[in-house]
């Protein structure tokens, strides 16, 4: 049997005796994104002599000069954040045009890291703009800006993955497109109340990682993360149809991101 085409995407189902139409929404994609969480192998680092540590730091500096914030905006960019808590020491956030480029930057650190920066978790996704939100077409300058955003310069970051729920009557994927669009509009109204305080980048990961979306928030006041997420929990889209993964919060590091862990 041939795979369904775009004209076959409407699917009818019956809920409570009423036929509804459930239909996917077209999406536009931009940067490939990697959230790369690392922890310093502290015993191994302490065991190095001063000369070996200097050699390692020089290698990290060279890698970051090639891949870090000064990288061409058209090719992508990277940032480093110190993670608060036990989950990791550093989160590297990479935006790239191609999946192959993410592979190279990820394993570039492995090559120069002397097995000192152990990867404790990672998340692969792609910047996504759904048909609910895209206005003006893929070539519209505002759409391109949202698909290929510059790396934000805010001091604090908050990242978490999430799914849309598929349980009994709380099944997002059994709602009609119109119902989903209406819920998303209400959801967006909550976020717009925080305009100017927080910048949000949504990335899609269906078929790429274990969750369906990643949400990365940037702000200059970390309390904004708490207030925004808490308020959104009362929105029906989140309260009824969303499941959340772990939260990671951190502070931006400068170009010599390894300095907080240096023994010098």
The predicted-structure confidence for 104-136, as pLDDT tens digits, reads as follows: 999 999 999 878 999 999 999 999 998 665 566
**What is the pLDDT at residue 264?**
53
Can you tell me whether residue 10 is helix, strand or coil? coil
Q: What number of other Cβ atoms are within 10 A of residue 188's Cβ? A: 13
Res. 167: pLDDT tops 60: yes
- pTM given for the model: 0.88
Res. 58: pLDDT tops 50: yes
How far is Cα 188 from Cα 129, in angstroms, rounded to an integer? 13
Q: What is the 3-state secondary structure (H, E, C) of 103-167?
A: HHHHHHHHHHCCCCEEEEEEEEEEEEEECCCCCCCCCCHHHHHHHCCCCCCCCEEEEEEEEECEE
Average pLDDT of the chain? 88
**What is the pLDDT at residue 136?**
66
At 216-244, the pLDDT tens digits run 999 999 999 999 999 998 888 889 999 99
Cα–Cα distances in Å, from 101 out to 28, 117, 257?
A: 20, 20, 21
Does 160 participate in catalysis according to the annotation? yes
How far is Cα 207 from Cα 169, in angstroms, rounded to an integer? 24
Res. 69: pLDDT tops 90: no
Choose between 249 and 72: higher pLDDT: 249
- Locate tokens 């000069």: which residue? 65
**Choice among 32, 132, 156, 160 that is catalytic:** 160
Predicted confidence band of residue 1 (pLDDT cuts 50, 70, 90) = very low
| Exposed / middle / buried, residue 61 (Cβ in 10 Å: 0-12, 13-18, 19+) | middle
How far is Cα 142 from Cα 102, in angstroms, rounded to an integer? 25
φ/ψ of 195, rounded to 5, equals -60, 135
Task: Answer whether CATH 3.30.70.1030 is correct for domain 28-261.
Answer: yes
How far is Cα 110 from Cα 80, in angstroms, rounded to an integer? 16
- Locate tokens 């908050």: which residue? 158
Res. 10: pLDDT tops 60: no
Q: What is the dihedral angle through the alpha carbons of 136, 138, 140, 141, rounded to the nearest 10 degrees?
A: 140
Predicted confidence band of residue 28 (pLDDT cuts 50, 70, 90) = very high
Choose between 194 and 85: higher pLDDT: 85
**What is the pLDDT at residue 21?**
56
Res. 12: pLDDT tops 70: no
Integer-rounded Cα Rg, in Å, for the chain is 21
Residue 260, token pair as written in the block: 């907080």
């Amino acid at each position: 049997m041939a795979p369904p085409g775009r004209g076959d995407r409407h699917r009818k189902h019956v809920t409570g005796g009423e036929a509804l139409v459930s239909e996917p929404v077209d999406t536009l994609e931009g940067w490939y994104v990697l959230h790369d969480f690392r922890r310093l192998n502290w015993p191994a680092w302490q065991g190095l002599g001063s000369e070996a540590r200097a050699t390692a730091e020089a290698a990290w500096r060279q890698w970051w000069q090639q891949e870090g914030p000064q990288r061409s905006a058209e090719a992508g960019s990277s940032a480093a954040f110190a993670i608060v808590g036990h989950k990791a020491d550093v989160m590297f956030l990479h935006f790239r045009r191609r999946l192959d480029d993410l592979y190279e930057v990820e394993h570039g650190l492995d090559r120069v890291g002397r097995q000192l920066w152990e990867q404790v978790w990672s998340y692969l996704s792609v910047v996504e703009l759904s048909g609910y939100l895209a206005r003006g077409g893929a070539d519209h300058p505002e759409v391109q800006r949202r698909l290929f955003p510059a790396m934000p310069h805010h001091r604090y970051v908050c990242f978490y993955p999430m799914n849309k729920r598929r349980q009994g009557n709380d099944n997002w994927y059994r709602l009609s497109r119109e119902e989903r669009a209406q819920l998303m509009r209400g959801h967006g109204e909550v976020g717009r109340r925080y305009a100017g305080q927080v910048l949000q980048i949504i990335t899609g990961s269906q078929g790429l990682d274990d969750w369906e979306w990643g949400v990365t928030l940037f702000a200059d006041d970390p309390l904004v993360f708490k207030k925004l997420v808490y308020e959104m929990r009362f929105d029906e889209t989140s309260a009824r149809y969303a499941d959340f993964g772990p939260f990671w919060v951190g502070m931006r590091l400068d170009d010599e991101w390894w300095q907080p862990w240096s023994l010098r």
